Amino acid sequence: MPRPCRGPRPPRSPYGLDDGPYDGSASPLVRPYLVAVEREQDRQAQQERRRIALVLAADFGIDLDRHVVGAEAVVGC
């Protein structure tokens, strides 16, 4: 059975559907200075974990592998 003709469709925005005001919290974009602050906080937290591992190793006489401390290989010695 043929569908009845409803006439032309209303024009659509070339920018997508208009769902009302834009929700900024749903956007993956962030300001670069916020990313820099988070990276610095992550770096400081990682350094603190390394420092604690070294202190515990020194206190208990434990020999740590490079991956635990995050140090580079020592050449020579």
pLDDT of residue 42: 96
**19-75 pLDDT tens trace:** 666 666 776 777 888 889 999 999 999 999 989 888 888 888 777 666 555 555 555
Amino acid 75: pLDDT: 56
Long-range CB contacts (< 8 A, 24+ apart) of 9-16? Answer: none
Q: Where are the domains of the chain?
A: 30-67
pTM greater than 0.75:
no
Residues near 56 by beta carbon (within 8 Å), at least 6 away in sequence? 62
pLDDT of residue 40: 95
Residue 31 in tokens:
């300001």
Alpha-helix runs per DSSP H in 14-65: 32-60
